[in-house]
């Protein structure tokens, strides 16, 4: 495969040569570095690259060019290479223009001239952007292919697992792709075990379980040791926060997740309020970065592995995995978050994964391009989902039980929804039945104002009706609320009943549960604020408490 391109454009030869020299020094091995002395010359080169079906990873343009400014060039260039990352080279006085470009052309970064030393001011930024580009771009296809039908729930599970774990794949719908149908039939000969997964090495899996799939992808599903200083259950933002700090502070750390790192945040199409990302970032991207960071610090990550039980033999804590194996540690962090609540109406269960999906199910969005989809829920996650699906579907209808979105959704999202033509919000409306034979066909709605009931055809329904803590594996171990949330720190002592279970003379550490050395962080902790930043912060704090705890045993 040919190397992708990085194109730098500047009308000042000295600056251009300096940029190109620095780019070559760092990126020559993996990229081809191209230069142009004006916006027009650069556009001509891009046009040629496009005709040759080449890939362009990064465009780096000086803002101050007399005929065509860097911003004007980038605005035209992204029509030819929409995936390419965009960086503007600016002088101090151009900051305002650069900030405007963030909104207008989706500028990824603006660099100040001069950028010396490049190791500090240039390469870390471009490294990030190139990594991001390479993880999202579609190169000539040589990867995994998943063949099935849109109405086979197991095909959905497989796609969901791959995309949540950021494993690129190509979806082949055998109902619309005759070639794929033939291919599948030659493999399963009339069988109904969908999907069939075709691996790049020529291997294939027929209706594989998620564990089999993970195994053949080379994911780590077994711990390499029987004992760790710190085990973290759950790889959402809280678990990843704890993993990065645990690993970086020298603790032998193991993180276990039953499906993918990123947790709920990993399913968010755009997180706009996480510190340091003015343009927002997708949950998948945040998860990818944090996972790489944890692994860099030597954290072992087991996926997919579910912890089904925990037992304590002071000072050791043992976690039992769903395959029956046990691993032990001295300090345990529970970061199992919350999981989506199911819609309990007649018919919903029978078409789950075949038109009815829980959460953002981003992997399905393209399949409903040009169709009418429904979103159930009125909180932020539903709002983000509606914004995301509005890019694909012809019409998005939000079904909101309450009288207004403002009771449950952030204003910035309400504004975005109001400004999006193909989103319709129906308040005081709830789903009372779902109909379909093997796939969703229609939804039955009750309108609270009038009590009227109507049935409407629906291509897909994405449900965002909140989440709940599933912590049964901790029953009889740590103190929990009736709703399953885990009590920690001072909250344990505030309640007379739960206070009885704290047996030590010292007070519990922050985020410590009723069992010394077991901590709970993020959404699963009673009283947590259910945000990405706070979950990450709690994970980091817990590690500091783990150190204090380890000094006591």
Ligand X SMILES: Cc1cc2nc3c(=O)[nH]c(=O)nc-3n(C[C@H](O)[C@H](O)[C@H](O)COP(=O)(O)OP(=O)(O)OC[C@H]3O[C@@H](n4cnc5c(N)ncnc54)[C@H](O)[C@@H]3O)c2cc1C
Residues forming the site for ligand X (CB under 6 A): 233-239, 256-259, 263-265, 267-268, 271-273, 306-307, 335-338, 359-360, 380-381, 384, 473, 522-524, 530-533, 535
In 426-502, which residue ranges form alpha helices assigned H by DSSP?
489-494, 496-499
CB 400, min distance to ligand X, A: 16
CB 124, min distance to ligand X, A: 25
Phi and psi at residue 418, to the nearest 5°? -65, -30
Comparing CB distances to ligand X, the nearer of 180 and 256 is 256
In the 8-state DSSP scheme, what is residue 390?
T
Comparing CB distances to ligand X, the nearer of 57 and 535 is 535
Whole-angstrom CA distances from 98 to 67, 108, 351 are 18, 10, 48
CB 351, min distance to ligand X, A: 21
* Per-residue H/E/C for 13-54: HHHHHHHHHHHHHHHCCCCEEEEECCHHHHHHHHHHHHHCCC
**Neighbour count for residue 543 (Cβ, 10 Å):** 25
Comparing CB distances to ligand X, the nearer of 251 and 256 is 256
Phi and psi at residue 143, to the nearest 5°? -105, -155
CB 338, min distance to ligand X, A: 5
Helix/strand/coil for 314 = coil
CB 249, min distance to ligand X, A: 19
Structural contact between residues 210 and 323, judged by C-beta atoms closer than 8 angstroms: no
Phi and psi at residue 296, to the nearest 5°? -60, -30
- Report how far apart the first and last C-alpha atoms of the chain are (Å, whole number): 56
Cis peptide before 304 (omega within 30 of 0): yes
CB 306, min distance to ligand X, A: 4
Six-digit token string for 146: 């998943």
CB 522, min distance to ligand X, A: 2
Q: Which residues, in sequence order, are CB contacts of 497 under 8 Å at separation 6+?
A: none
Phi and psi at residue 75, to the nearest 5°? -60, -40
Comparing CB distances to ligand X, the nearer of 71 and 264 is 264
Structural contact between residues 363 and 159, judged by C-beta atoms closer than 8 angstroms: yes
In the 8-state DSSP scheme, what is residue 296?
H
Comparing CB distances to ligand X, the nearer of 327 and 524 is 524
Comparing CB distances to ligand X, the nearer of 479 and 538 is 538
Phi and psi at residue 454, to the nearest 5°? -135, 155
Phi and psi at residue 313, to the nearest 5°? -130, 90
Comparing CB distances to ligand X, the nearer of 124 and 280 is 280
Comparing CB distances to ligand X, the nearer of 60 and 260 is 260
Structural contact between residues 252 and 230, judged by C-beta atoms closer than 8 angstroms: yes
**Residue in the structure block whose two tokens are 């040791």:** 225
How far is the C-alpha of 547 from the C-alpha of 488, rounded, in Å? 17
Six-digit token string for 188: 């399963």
Comparing CB distances to ligand X, the nearer of 111 and 515 is 515
Comparing CB distances to ligand X, the nearer of 43 and 365 is 365
User: For residue 57, which of 39, 33, 37 has the smallest C-alpha distance?
Assistant: 33
Comparing CB distances to ligand X, the nearer of 106 and 359 is 359
CB 357, min distance to ligand X, A: 12
Comparing CB distances to ligand X, the nearer of 230 and 360 is 360
User: For residue 82, which of 123, 137, 8 has the smallest C-alpha distance?
Assistant: 137
CB 247, min distance to ligand X, A: 16
CB 420, min distance to ligand X, A: 17
Phi and psi at residue 221, to the nearest 5°? -115, -5
Please state whether beta strands 442-447 and 453-457 pair in parallel, antiparallel, or not at all (unpaired). antiparallel
CB 97, min distance to ligand X, A: 28
Structural contact between residues 420 and 333, judged by C-beta atoms closer than 8 angstroms: no
CB 242, min distance to ligand X, A: 9
């Amino acid at each position: 495969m040919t190397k992708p391109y990085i194109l730098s454009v500047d009308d000042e030869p000295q600056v251009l040569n300096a940029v190109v020299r620095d780019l070559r020094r760092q990126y020559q091995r993996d990229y081809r570095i191209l230069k142009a002395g004006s916006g027009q010359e650069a556009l001509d080169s891009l046009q040629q690259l496009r005709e040759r079906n080449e890939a362009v990873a990064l465009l780096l343009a000086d803002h101050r060019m007399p005929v065509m400014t860097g911003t004007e060039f980038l605005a035209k260039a992204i029509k030819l290479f929409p995936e390419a990352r965009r960086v503007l080279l600016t002088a101090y006085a151009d900051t305002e223009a650069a900030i405007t470009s963030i909104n207008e052309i989706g500028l990824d970064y603006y660099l100040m001239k001069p950028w010396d030393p490049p190791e500090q001011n240039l390469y870390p930024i471009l490294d990030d952007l190139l990594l991001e580009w390479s993880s999202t771009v579609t190169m000539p296809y040589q990867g995994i292919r998943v063949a099935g039908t849109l109405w086979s729930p197991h095909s959905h599970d497989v796609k969901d697992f791959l995309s949540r774990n950021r494993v690129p794949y190509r979806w082949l719908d055998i109902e619309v792709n005759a070639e794929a149908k033939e291919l599948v039939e030659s493999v399963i000969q009339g069988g109904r075990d969908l999907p069939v997964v075709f691996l790049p090495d020529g291997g294939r899996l027929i209706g594989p379980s998620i564990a089999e799939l993970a195994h053949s992808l080379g994911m780590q599903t077994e711990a390499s040791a029987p004992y760790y200083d710190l085990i973290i259950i759950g790889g959402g933002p809280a678990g990843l926060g704890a993993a990065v700090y645990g690993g970086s502070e020298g603790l032998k750390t193991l993180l276990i997740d039953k499906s993918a790192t990123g947790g709920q945040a990993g399913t968010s199409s755009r997180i706009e309020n996480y510190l340091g990302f003015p343009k927002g970032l997708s949950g998948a991207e945040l998860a990818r970065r944090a996972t790489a960071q944890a692994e860099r610090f030597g954290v072992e990550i087991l996926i997919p592995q579910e912890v089904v039980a925990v037992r304590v033999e002071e000072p050791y804590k043992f976690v039992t995995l769903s395959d029956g194996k046990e691993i032990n540690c001295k300090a345990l962090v529970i970061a199992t978050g919350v999981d989506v609540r199911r819609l309990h109406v007649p018919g919903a269960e029978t078409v789950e994964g075949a038109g009815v999906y829980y959460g953002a199910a981003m992997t399905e969005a393209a399949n409903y391009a040009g169709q009418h989809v429904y979103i159930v829920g009125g909180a932020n996650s539903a709002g983000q989902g509606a914004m995301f699906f509005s890019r694909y579907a012809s019409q998005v209808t939000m079904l909101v039980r309450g009288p207004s979105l403002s009771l449950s959704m952030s204003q910035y999202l309400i504004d975005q929804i109001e400004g999006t033509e193909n989103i319709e919000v129906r308040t005081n409306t709830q789903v009372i039945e779902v109909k379909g034979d093997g796939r969703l066909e229609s939804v039955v709605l009750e309108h609270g104002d009038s009590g009227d009931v109507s049935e409407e055809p629906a291509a897909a329904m994405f449900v965002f009706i909140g989440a709940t803590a599933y912590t049964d594996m901790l029953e009889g171990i740590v103190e929990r609320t009736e709703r399953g949330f885990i009590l920690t720190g001072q909250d344990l002592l505030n309640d007379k009943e739960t206070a009885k279970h704290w047996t030590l003379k010292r007070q519990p550490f922050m985020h410590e549960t009723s069992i010394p050395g077991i901590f709970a962080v993020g959404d699963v902790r009673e009283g947590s604020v259910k945000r990405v930043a706070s979950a990450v912060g709690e994970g980091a704090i817990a590690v500091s408490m783990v150190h204090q705890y380890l000094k006591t045993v």
